[in-house]
């Protein structure tokens, strides 16, 4: 039996260009309703692909640009993106960046998601970047709380920290979107703080982002169906709801 699309699953289109993106969308068909298009696709026609998937195929779109600049520039960039009628946009979680992004998105349905700490980073990476001392879960929770207080519609975090964020009073009514999700047995790649799709949902995530396990699969549709099955399992029931 073919499982229907589940909006909680966002497939990352980390492919080279529009042609490859449309080919993947054709393969996945009605099994996927939500796609992420990131910075790596920008010069490969990422905005054109976003428009095609949104306007012509009725898909939801998460534009993962992770904007970070002075407030006026962030506001202007977000205002430009907002005209495309997309669904999610990421910015860095610094409160001034979040506030500027919300100004740029004013009057639209575009959700601003704040990046906490990238799921490819561990404590050694943070030390090299001169980020203050502390355990990553504590830093993520603090950063998420401040971003949501600044007006973020939600946050991006490792699925390992989703439960901590969901427990914050500031998280009421906010979205938690978790990359760093790998099905059982999948290669971790460059991700360091990961869980399975079912565990991410159980931890309190509203959406999970899966890329390489889908588009690198010999059969992307079959890989997607396996993820959908896992997300529909009892293991994905969240005690935080």
Per-residue pLDDT of the chain (241 residues), as tens digits, is 789 999 999 999 999 999 999 999 999 999 999 999 999 998 899 999 999 999 999 999 999 999 999 999 999 999 999 999 999 999 999 999 999 999 999 999 999 999 998 878 889 999 999 999 999 999 999 999 999 999 999 999 888 889 999 999 999 999 999 987 876 555 545 445 567 888 889 989 999 999 999 999 999 999 999 999 989 888 767 554 4
Rounded to whole angstroms, the Cα distance separating 86 from 96 reads 22
Burial of 158 (0-12, 13-18, 19+ CB in 10 A): buried
Instruction: Judge whether 66 counts as a catalytic residue.
Output: yes
Considering 66, 102, 174, 192, which one is annotated as catalytic? 66
């Amino acid at each position: 039996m073919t499982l229907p699309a589940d909006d909680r699953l966002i497939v990352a289109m980390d492919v080279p260009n529009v042609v490859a993106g449309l080919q993947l969308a054709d393969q996945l068909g009605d099994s996927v309703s939500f796609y992420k298009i990131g910075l790596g696709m920008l010069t490969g026609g990422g905005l054109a692909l976003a428009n095609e998937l949104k306007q012509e195929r009725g898909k939801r779109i998460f534009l993962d640009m992770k904007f970070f600049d002075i407030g006026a520039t962030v506001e202007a960039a977000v205002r430009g993106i907002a005209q495309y009628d997309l669904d999610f946009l990421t910015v860095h979680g610094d409160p001034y960046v979040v506030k500027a992004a919300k100004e740029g998105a004013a009057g639209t349905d575009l959700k601003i998601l704040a990046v906490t700490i990238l799921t490819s980073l561990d404590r050694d990476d943070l030390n090299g970047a001169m980020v203050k001392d502390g355990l990553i879960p504590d830093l993520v929770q603090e950063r998420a709380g401040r971003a949501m207080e600044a007006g973020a519609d939600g946050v991006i975090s490792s699925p390992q920290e989703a439960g901590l964020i969901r427990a914050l009073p500031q998280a009421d009514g906010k979205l938690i979107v978790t990359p760093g999700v790998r099905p059982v047995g999948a290669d971790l790649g460059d991700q360091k703080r990961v869980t399975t799709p079912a565990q991410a949902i159980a931890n309190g995530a509203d959406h999970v982002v899966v890329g390489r396990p889908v588009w690198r699969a010999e059969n992307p549709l079959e890989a997607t169906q396996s993820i959908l099955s896992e997300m529909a399992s009892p293991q994905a029931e969240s005690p935080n709801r």
